Structure 1
Amino acid sequence: MSEALMSETPEIAEEDRLRADLYDFLGLLLAGPPDRTLLAKTAGLTGDDSELGTAIRALARIASLSRPRTVESEFNALFIGLGRGELLPYASYYLTGFLNEKPLAGLRRDMAARGMTRAENVYEPEDNIASLMEMMGGMIRGRFGAPAPLADQKTFYARHIGPWAGHFYTDLEAAKNSVLYASVGAVGRVFMEIEAEGFRMSAG
């Protein structure tokens, strides 16, 4: 392989690119309320007749009817609130009932081992759902070096995402303040089920 080829963005399989895209997309929607541009992109999504495709189509339909100010109010009620929002989207909270517990310490060790660092303008604990979605997308795509082998993705998922993300997305679907985010929850829940099954079926 020539030096020129080696210096290019690493090629990953189309299926992995689509997985990374969905992780990144969920991370973006969960990091902050979507602006008009992101809502428009979400409204333009299409899906097949699978469970995931159906959930994506439902999300697109609601996004097409949503306005940035309304969605911002929804986001704040869900995740910020007065003192705290309706949901606490952190692995430590879901796994121990408290923030900043052992799951966060374990995540920080794994992040350091993989060369991941928290963005300078982010002050939330790293085990929030948005950051974990972005980390997983980045590992698949190769944003932290070479694309992570499937076995490494499986390990990271099993430690930091699998034990709680499905529960969080189910709670997001059912949250009383969820409208657009009920559909985000449905997409996330189904995607986590697909990922868990895919990792179960993989060797290593």
Structure 2
Amino acid sequence: MSAAAATTVEITEEDRLRADLYGFLSALLAAPPDRMLLDKSAALHGDDTDLGRAIGTLSKLARAATPVSVEREFTRLFIGLGRGELLPYASYYLTGFLNEKPLASLRKDMTAHRISRAPNVYEPEDNIASLMEMMAGLITGRFGVPAPLPRQREFFNRHIAPWAGHFFADLERAKGSVFYTPVGTVGRLFVNIEREAFRMSGA
């Protein structure tokens, strides 16, 4: 995604950590991880929470993985010969078809937030990697200034909450998942945490 204008604004440490995790998931899901991203994944340390344990598993698998092995897995999962095992698009999960109403709704909100698709990106914007990237950008102010919490909540509830948890659960269970199994776990747990946090903030 690209921004019409970006402003550097201080955000809280909690929001920085949220944005970092959204960005990390986006990077893992946008393309096969290269050596640098695998090394970054391997260096992670989890705590004794469910999310922390999932991060620890991801770190362990990253240490054993190679760029070649994860590229093969990524291809099986998301590309395949005709299509991959999973179709990581909001339109598909919500309607059963690609390029449907959820994509049109997202594009309208992207315009409102001054978010545009990067020139070298050709797939629909409602893919999971792009949505994770957009949330990170809304939090940090990449698309202008940091979005207030109500606007973050609105974007999340409209474009991520209705389907992302189901996608990440499918990724955990996918036959082709090895390295991506804990990626699915991290994503599912994080989406649940964000959903509950937004629910409480909107009460």
Superposition pairs for residues 153-168 of structure 1, below 5 Å?
153-168=152-167
Aligned residue pair count: 198
Q: Which runs of 4+ in 1 moved over 2 A?
A: none
Q: What is the alpha-carbon distance in structure 2 between the residues aligned to residue 63 and residue 185 of structure 1? A: 14
Q: State the partner residue of 1:101.
A: 100
Q: State the partner residue of 1:111.
A: 110
Q: For the Cα contact (< 8 Å) 2:7–2:142, is it kept in 1?
A: no
Unaligned runs of 5+ in 2: 1-5
Could you say which structure has the greater relative contact order, defined with CA pairs below 8 angstroms and 6 or more residues apart?
2
The question of 1:191 aligning with 2:179 is answered no
Q: State the partner residue of 1:3.
A: none
Q: State the partner residue of 2:147.
A: 148
- What is the Cα deviation at residue 126 of structure 1? 0.1
- What secondary structure sits across from 1:49 in the alignment? coil
Counterparts in 2 of 1:52 and 1:106: CA distance versus 1, 3 Å: same
Counterparts in 2 of 1:110 and 1:50: CA distance versus 1, 3 Å: same
After superposition, what is the alpha-carbon deviation per residue over 1:122-142, rounded to whole angstroms, capped at 9, x for unaligned?
000000000000000000010
- What is the Cα deviation at residue 203 of structure 1? 2.8
The question of 1:23 aligning with 2:33 is answered no
Q: State the partner residue of 1:75.
A: 74
- What secondary structure sits across from 1:99 in the alignment? coil
Q: State the partner residue of 2:3.
A: none
After superposition, what is the alpha-carbon deviation per residue over 1:103-125, rounded to whole angstroms, capped at 9, x for unaligned?
00000000001100001100000
Q: For the Cα contact (< 8 Å) 2:22–2:133, is it kept in 1?
A: yes
TM-score w.r.t. the length of structure 1 is 0.95
- What is the Cα deviation at residue 8 of structure 1? 6.9
TM-score w.r.t. the length of structure 2 is 0.96
Q: State the partner residue of 1:89.
A: 88
After superposition, what is the alpha-carbon deviation per residue over 1:154-180, rounded to whole angstroms, capped at 9, x for unaligned?
000000000000000000000000000
Q: What is the alpha-carbon distance in structure 1 between the residues aligned to residue 8 and residue 120 of structure 2? A: 26
Q: What is the alpha-carbon distance in structure 2 between the residues aligned to residue 62 and residue 112 of structure 1? A: 39
Q: What is the alpha-carbon distance in structure 2 between the residues aligned to residue 8 and residue 99 of structure 1? A: 34
- What secondary structure sits across from 2:115 in the alignment? coil
Counterparts in 2 of 1:8 and 1:134: CA distance versus 1, 3 Å: closer
The question of 1:120 aligning with 2:119 is answered yes
- What is the Cα deviation at residue 9 of structure 1? 1.7
Q: What is the alpha-carbon distance in structure 1 between the residues aligned to residue 7 and residue 163 of structure 2? A: 36
RMSD of aligned residue pairs (Cα, Å): 1.1
Q: What is the alpha-carbon distance in structure 2 between the residues aligned to residue 48 and residue 20 of structure 1? A: 19
Q: For the Cα contact (< 8 Å) 2:7–2:141, is it kept in 1?
A: no
